[in-house]
Chain A
Amino acid sequence: KQEVTQIPAALSVPEGENLVLNCSFTDSAIYNLQWFRQDPGKGLTSLLLIQSSQREQTSGRLNASLDKSSGRSTLYIAASQPGDSATYLCAVGTSGTYKYIFGTGTRLKVLA
């Protein structure tokens, strides 16, 4: 059974810092991994999707990497801004099924 863990659960940083959010999964037989952002009281917004054959994806100040063999993905946020404050979730699409299993999320606060 696929289990997805995110560390840390919460993070508070000053504006301008570069930061890394971690996502670990137990079953390396994945189709892809998707990073989402969730603002309080809102739905989930897709940030990046990495297919299992890819090592990384970039979008603006965001860079996500994937290491299937070690069961890890990282989301790198460059030059963080207060507007980046949100909860970040990773979701793993597991081979043999059509479903995404979510991690517990990292609640990020960027201080001005």
Chain B
Amino acid sequence: DAGVIQSPRHEVTEMGQEVTLRCKPISGHNSLFWYRQTMMRGLELLIYFNNNVPIDDSGMPEDRFSAKMPNASFSTLKIQPSEPRDSAVYFCASNFVEPQGLLTEAFFGQGTRLTVV
């Protein structure tokens, strides 16, 4: 497997524009996570899905952020409208959660570096 694949790797956009980040998890994994990393706040969990269903979106900072997982092999994180303070590296990760709730090793993508000017 090629691992968790994120696109684009870099995104520069103007304030107010819509930004869509994409993630393809590892095949067979049933949980997917979106994290944001900044120097000030470290790695923050934004939202995670299990079996394509959002389980906890309490980390999503504002209504400007939304995430979807239409199928087991694809997820998007959308920011609309974008603001300079959204500039960060956004990571997607996936793992497998067994029926009894046991978490397995999580694997991360290479991240999308977002710059909003």
| Residues of chain A whose beta carbon lies under 8 Å from any beta carbon of chain B | 31-32, 34, 36, 42-46, 49, 51, 89, 91, 93, 95, 97-105
Contacts and interface: CB of A to CB of B under 8 A. Distances in A.
Interface string B13-42: 000000000000000000101010000001
Given A104-B42, A105-B42, A98 B110 contact: no
Contact of A46 (B33, B105, B109): B105
Query: Number of contact residues on B: which range applies?
Result: 20 to 34
A34 B106 contact: yes
Interface string B31-61: 1010100000011010010100001100000
Interface of A is mostly: strand
A-B complex: 6 closest residue pairs judged by Cβ atoms: A44-B108, A102-B43, A93-B103, A43-B110, A43-B108, A49-B105
Contacts, number: 58
Given A45-B108, A99-B55, 18 more contacts: A31-B102, A32-B102, A34-B106, A43-B109, A43-B110, A46-B107, A49-B104, A51-B102, A93-B103, A98-B48, A98-B101, A99-B33, A99-B48, A100-B93, A102-B35, A102-B42, A102-B45, A103-B42
Contacts of B105: 34, 46, 49
B101 A46 contact: no
The listed residue with most A CB atoms (<10 A of its CB), out of B48, B55, B103, B108, is B103
19 contacts: A31-B103, A32-B102, A36-B108, A42-B110, A43-B109, A44-B91, A46-B105, A46-B107, A49-B104, A51-B102, A93-B103, A97-B55, A98-B103, A99-B45, A99-B55, A99-B56, A100-B93, A101-B45, A102-B43
